[in-house]
Amino acid sequence: MNATGALALKLVLTPVLIGAASLAGRRWGAAIGGWLIGIPFTSAPIALFLTLEAGPAFAARAAAGIMAGGISQAVFCLAYAWAARRWDWPQALVAASLGFGVSTAVLVVVVLPPVSFLIVVLITLVVALFLMPAAVRAKAAAQDFPRWDLPARMVVATVFVLALTAAAPLLGARLAGLLAPFPLFGAVLAAFAQRMQGPGAAAGVMRGLLLGLFAFATFFLVLATQLERDVAVAFVAATAAALVVQAMSLATGRRLGLA
């Protein structure tokens, strides 16, 4: 694919995916919205664009970094959920972003084989779920989203994808991969949930996101180990595996009262 085609794909695919996820989250609630955005709506397109532009070997290394970034996402979720109990959404977002940044800085110097890192990620997600604030059942409230909300999410997501894929050659595969999973949409959903329904709803978004990250980690493990063999097969297999794990995580979360 040439540069023009890749740019066109970024400008179409990213906003369509984010718009669909945002509307689904509004329809089924905070926790389900968080669970849905566990699907790698931004980092999967980033992995695809890196494959097309930098090659499968570079993208496979980046995918391993993206998978490891699930640890930083778990730190973000915990930090936001606890900070929201004490502060308004801007301070909670800053605290969570700092947590993500510190975790990313640590992960830059920690190198493990993809399967070993998957085990660490899964353990981190389970521990994070147990450390989350107790779930609070909030009354459903009609949410009057401003007209600019959905277009703004789509624009921010597209800008993030364009910026990261453009900077990837300078950042290197691992750092680009570690930065790609910043939970941009989790942050947006949590901030709106906290502003409109309080910290309990924000924690619900973060709890749902943690459940969705099991599928996220599975998706990028498959890419990290299969991209250099066959790009098309790797993406198809990663998507199929992630969808299976995503369904299992929702069923488990509902059984445990987490979603």
Instruction: Provide the residue-wise pLDDT of the chain in tens; the chain has 259 residues.
Output: 445 555 666 667 667 766 776 676 667 665 666 666 667 766 777 788 788 878 898 888 888 888 988 999 999 999 999 999 999 989 999 999 999 999 998 988 888 888 888 999 999 999 999 999 876 554 444 556 667 767 877 787 778 767 766 776 677 767 777 777 788 777 777 887 787 778 888 888 888 889 889 988 999 999 999 998 998 999 999 999 988 888 887 777 667 665 5
Contacts of 28 (CB under 8 A, 6+ apart): 36
Say what angle helices 43-54 and 3-28 make with each other, to 10 degrees: 170
Tokens for 125? Answer: 């997600």
Say what angle helices 89-108 and 56-84 make with each other, to 10 degrees: 140
> How would DSSP label each residue in 83-104?
HHTTS-HHHHHHHHHHHHHHHH
What residue spans of 55-144 are helical by DSSP H? 56-84, 89-108, 114-131
Closest CA to 219 of 34, 77, 13, 44: 44
Max Cα separation, the chain? Answer: 50
> pLDDT at position 141, please?
47
pTM for the whole thing?
0.78
> pLDDT at position 140, please?
45
Tokens for 245? Answer: 């794990």
C-alpha count within 13 angstroms, C-beta hemisphere, residue 200? 9
> pLDDT at position 103, please?
92
d(CA 59, CA 45): 11
* CB of 39 closer than 8 Å to CB of 242: yes
